Every structure is written in C-alpha cells, then in structure tokens.
C-alpha cells in the first residue's frame, strides 16, 4: 500500500495555505509566460522592420516601373509585364482620354 500525505487526508478550504511546490510551479509558469511575451514583442518589432523594408522596396519598384513607362510615353497606371529579356507586354488596353 502507498503512503498518503497529510495534505491528502486533511480537507482543504479557502484558508488552507498553498503548498510551496504549487507556488514554485505557478512562478515557473508565470516566468515562462513572461518569456514568451517578451519573445512575441521582439518578433513584432522585427516584423515592423521587415514591413518597412518591404514598403521601401515596393516604392523603389514603383519608381523603376514609372520610369520605364514614362520613357515609353505610357501612363503611369499602365499595367505591364516585363519578362527576363526585357520585353514588355501590356496587360490591359490603354484608355485614351
């Protein structure tokens, strides 16, 4: 037969003190949650940096496309595809207005 601890045999109520083991476990869980929260914050900060870099690259890309279109006398909102050989394909009709 196994030995029962006094905690198992004594009824507990709201005034019963929480065991040191439970307190330690709760503290470890809290510390782990705080660590995860800090890692998430750092991840979000990195995400913001990546989003800014992506936005800057998009602006640069639009500037290059704009120059290409302007050099050819095309409106800046013309949708084109440029293949790896540099050939341009219009993706929609150009409306003259």
Q: What is the pLDDT of residues 24-74, one digit of tens each?
A: 999 999 999 999 999 999 999 999 999 999 999 999 999 999 999 999 999
Whether residue 97 has pLDDT greater than 60: no
Maximum distance among all Cα pairs of the chain, rounded to whole angstroms: 95
Instruction: Determine the 3-state secondary structure of 80 from DSSP.
Output: strand
pLDDT of 8 reads 63
Residue 72 lies in a domain: yes
Residue 39 Cα distances to 28, 34, 42, 44, 45, angstroms: 16, 9, 5, 9, 10
2 within some domain: no
> What are 1-22's pLDDT values in tens digits?
455 555 567 788 988 999 999 9
**Residue 10 covered by a domain:** no
The total number of structural domains that make up the chain: 1
**Secondary structure class of 2 (helix, strand, coil):** coil
Considering the entire predicted model, what is its pTM? Answer: 0.61
Q: Is 6 domain-assigned?
A: no
Q: By residue range, what is the domain housing residue 56?
A: 19-90
């Amino acid at each position: 037969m196994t030995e029962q601890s006094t905690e198992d045999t004594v009824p507990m109520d709201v005034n019963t003190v929480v065991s040191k083991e439970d307190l330690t476990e709760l503290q470890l869980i809290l510390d782990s949650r705080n660590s995860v929260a800090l890692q998430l914050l750092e991840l979000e900060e990195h995400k913001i940096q990546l989003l800014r870099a992506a936005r800057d690259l998009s602006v640069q890309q639009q500037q290059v496309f704009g120059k290409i279109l302007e050099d050819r006398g095309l409106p800046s909102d013309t949708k084109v595809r440029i293949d790896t050989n540099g050939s341009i394909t219009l993706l929609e009709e150009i409306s003259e207005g």
